Structure formats: C-alpha cells, structure tokens
C-alpha cells in the first residue's frame, strides 16, 4: 500500500460489508456545528460547588481565569490531535485499496474537519492561550512518518482516538459547561464510528497476518505508549487512574484485532 499511486477500480466492489454499514451511518449522522450548537451562551468554567471549596483562596475572577487556563491546555492539545486525525486520514485514503475503506476515511475527514472547527471556536470563546505539548506533537509526527497503514490506524483510530474518547466522556459527565457538553456529545457520535472503523478494518487485514507482522505493530504501540507517558508527564501530570481505565479499553480493542499490548 503506497500513498502516491492509489488503486483504480473499474466498478464498485465491496470487500468488507461491515464498512459499508459504517458508511451508511456516517451519511445519516452528519451534523452542522453552526446550526446545531447554540454558540451564544457564555462558557461556564466552574460550578458554584467547586468555587465554594476554594473561595477563601481565590476571587471569582481569578478562579475563572485559572480554570480557563486549564481548559486551554487540554483543548489546545485536543485541537492539535483533531488536526492530526484529519492529516492521517488524508494519507490513509490514498494508501488503502478498498473502495469502502476509502469511503469510511473520506467520511472521517469531514468529521475531523468539523471537530477542528468546534474546538477552534470553543478555544476562541475561551480566550486563553496554551502551548502544544511537544511530546504529543512528536508522537503525532511518528504516526505521520510511518509508511505502514496498520501502524497509522492502530496509532490513530485505536490509540489516540481511544484516549480522546476517554477524555470526552469524562468532560461530558463532569463539565459544568452546557456548551461544552453539547459539542462533546456531537463529537462523540462521530468518534464511536472512528473507533469501530479501526477495529473492523484491522480485524479483516490482520486475520492472516504473520507473527512477525503482528509483532511489528505491537512494538509500535509499545513505543506510542512510551511517548504518551512522556507526553502526560507535562502538562497533564502523571498518568492517572482515568487514563489507566482508558488504556484498558485500548488493550481490549487491540485484543479484538488479535494484538497484545506490551508496555
């Protein structure tokens, strides 16, 4: 599979029917961030309950600024991650030979464009700046630079998107901000399809993979794990129990593809 010379088909042929089901879903569940999200609402960076616990230490304005800064760290890096997803799907669209796999990836490209749009609009509204996390950027570059489709898909759809989904679910449950909960609910609708795509495609491709091929991908995931641990050393702090749970999910999905997670 190479990126520069796609396979030309002479008619519509479908090799992986489960991917056509995903493609039907992605057409049905498209959404418009301009009309389905009420952007006129101000961002609520904290709940009254959480402020009550610190009001002896911070004024409301200072606490608001502090929480906005924390959000900016997380969402700047999610914003970068969404751009990485778009770039990787664009590469993969020309690498994979099957038509229905191209359809799923083309759909994911517009999904990721929408995610970049919503997180970009959210950051603009938040009005706080934060740097991109260099080890995370290094991890993303590692994914962009590999020429193995399996490494890209395991790295993006299973590993990075698995972590993003864990973070989104936590924000959906805990965030005091209705605007953020609304946009994350819509983003999660797309992300569940992306995770499903990774599992369906690699289950099919790796069914007859040799031990050496499996080992190559497992070693690659172990390297991503190391880079991610480095990334979370700053500014998110050490890998916490929430991330441990997320890693369990990633391990489960790798097992479905017939891969082991070696840390």
**Positions that interact with Fe ion (CB under 5 A):** 82, 85, 112, 115, 161, 191, 194
Tokens of 84: 């990485």
Minimum CB separation of residue 81 from Fe ion in Å reads 7
Shortest spacing between CB 115 and Fe ion, in angstroms: 4
Its sign, for the CA torsion 184, 187, 189, 194, is negative
- Cβ pair 225, 142 in contact under 8 A: no
Please report how close the Cβ of residue 191 comes to Fe ion at its closest, in angstroms: 5
Residue 105 vs 227, nearer CB to Fe ion: 105
**Tokens coding 134:** 């260099």
Which lies closer to Fe ion via its Cβ, residue 100 or residue 161? 161
- Two tokens, residue 138: 């290094």
Q: Whose structure tokens read 């993979």?
A: 209
Residue 82 or 98 with smaller CB distance to Fe ion: 82
**Taking the complex as a whole, how short is the minimal distance between the CB of residue 86 and Fe ion, in angstroms?**
8
Q: Are 97 and 49 in contact (CB under 8 A)?
A: no
For residues 113 and 106, the answer to whether their CB atoms sit within 8 Å is no
Q: Which is nearer to Fe ion, 18 or 188 (CB)?
A: 188
Of 150 and 162, which has the nearer Cβ to Fe ion? 162
Q: How far is CA 67 from the centre of its chain?
A: 23
Q: In the chain, where does DSSP find H-type helix?
A: 17-28, 33-36, 48-54, 60-95, 99-126, 134-145, 149-153, 161-174, 178-205, 211-232, 241-257
Q: Minimum distance between the CB of residue 161 and Fe ion, rounded to whole angstroms? A: 5
- The structure tokens listed for 49 are 């309950």
Count other Cβ atoms within 10 Å, centred on residue 60: 10
Q: Which residue has the tokens 């700047």?
A: 76
For Fe ion, give the closer residue by CB, 67 or 160.
Answer: 160
Q: Which is nearer to Fe ion, 113 or 209 (CB)?
A: 113
H/E run at residue 37: none
Q: Minimum distance between the CB of residue 187 and Fe ion, rounded to whole angstroms?
A: 6
Q: Closest approach of Cβ 64 to Fe ion, in Å?
A: 28
């Amino acid at each position: 599979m190479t990126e520069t010379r796609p396979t030309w088909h002479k008619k519509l042929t479908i090799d992986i029917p489960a991917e056509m089901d995903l493609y039907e879903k992605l057409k049905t569940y498209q959404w418009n961030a301009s009309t389905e999200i009420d952007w006129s609402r101000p961002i609520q960076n904290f709940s009254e309950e959480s402020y009550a616990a610190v009001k002896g230490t911070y004024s409301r304005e200072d606490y608001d600024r502090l929480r906005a800064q924390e959000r900016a760290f997380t969402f700047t890096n999610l914003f970068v991650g969404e751009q990485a997803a778009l770039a990787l799907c664009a590469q993969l669209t020309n690498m994979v030979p099957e038509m229905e796999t191209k359809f799923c990836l083309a759909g994911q490209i517009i999904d990721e464009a929408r995610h970049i749009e919503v997180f970009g609009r959210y950051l603009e509204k938040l009005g706080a700046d934060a740097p991109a996390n260099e080890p995370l950027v290094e991890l993303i570059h590692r994914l962009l630079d590999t020429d193995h489709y399996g490494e890209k898909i395991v790295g993006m759809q299973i590993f990075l998107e698995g972590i993003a989904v864990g973070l989104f679910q936590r924000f959906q449950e805990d965030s005091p901000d209705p605007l953020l909960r609304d946009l994350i609910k819509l983003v999660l609708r797309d992300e569940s399809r992306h995770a499903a795509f990774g599992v369906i495609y690699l289950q099919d491709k790796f069914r007859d993979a040799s031990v050496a091929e499996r080992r190559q991908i497992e070693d690659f995931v172990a390297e991503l794990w190391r880079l991610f641990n480095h990334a979370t050393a700053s500014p998110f702090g050490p890998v916490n129990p929430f991330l441990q749970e997320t890693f369990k999910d990633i391990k489960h999905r790798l097992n479905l593809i017939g891969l082991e997670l070696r840390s």
